[in-house]
Amino acid sequence: MQEHHNQAVELALIVRDRTDDPDTRLLAYDIATSQSQQSGQMFGWLAEWGLPQAPAEPSMTWMLRPPLGGDGGHSGAGHSDSSNGGSVDGGMPDMAMPDMATPGMVTPGMAMPGMATREQILQLEGLSGQHAEVQFLELMIAHHRGGVEMAAAILTRSDVNVVRDLASGILSVQESEIALMERMLNERR
């Protein structure tokens, strides 16, 4: 999710510098600052939990794992103390990894949902004014939908409070921003 957030920051900074529209610039600033902060928070968790910043397995593999089951998805690695978001045995938090609602839509190694391609980013960099705004809004709506999809997936598959709190916040804010961006896009078409 850090990679996903970092791309949102990149897109926001690109459009901020390519438009004079105050509403678009404010939205871009909000996205850049909030997602940069959340990415840093995720970086800190991985460091605290002794986990690498880059996954050891292909991207999106986590979405193919089963949701929490009757035993909470735990296999004897310590039990979760959800009051502090950590593991009782002092290790990394117990956390089952999420599963896609529609298996088969994800394959290991694929890009995260909603990620813009390098070509789309280069296209945005070549635009200005309203053309840049439209391209940014289209890309960011898709990007946020992907973020919402992943946040919803983790909510039913994690019992770590800090992770659940962040995922809930992402769902709430990004769904609201999607509605705002759809209105902004309609005004520009």
| Cα 140 → chain centroid | 12
- Model confidence at 178: pLDDT above 70: yes
d(CA 80, CA 168): 19
The domain limits of the chain are 2-53+101-188
pLDDT at 128: 97
pLDDT in tens, 95-138: 333 334 444 467 777 888 999 999 999 999 999 999 999 999 99
Across residues 31-54, what is the average pLDDT?
Answer: 95
pTM of the predicted model, to two decimals?
0.80
Q: Which fold has domain 2-53+101-188?
A: Ferritin (1.20.1260)
Q: Is it the case that residue 25 has pLDDT exceeding 90?
A: yes
Q: How far apart are CA 133 and CA 183, in angstroms?
A: 12
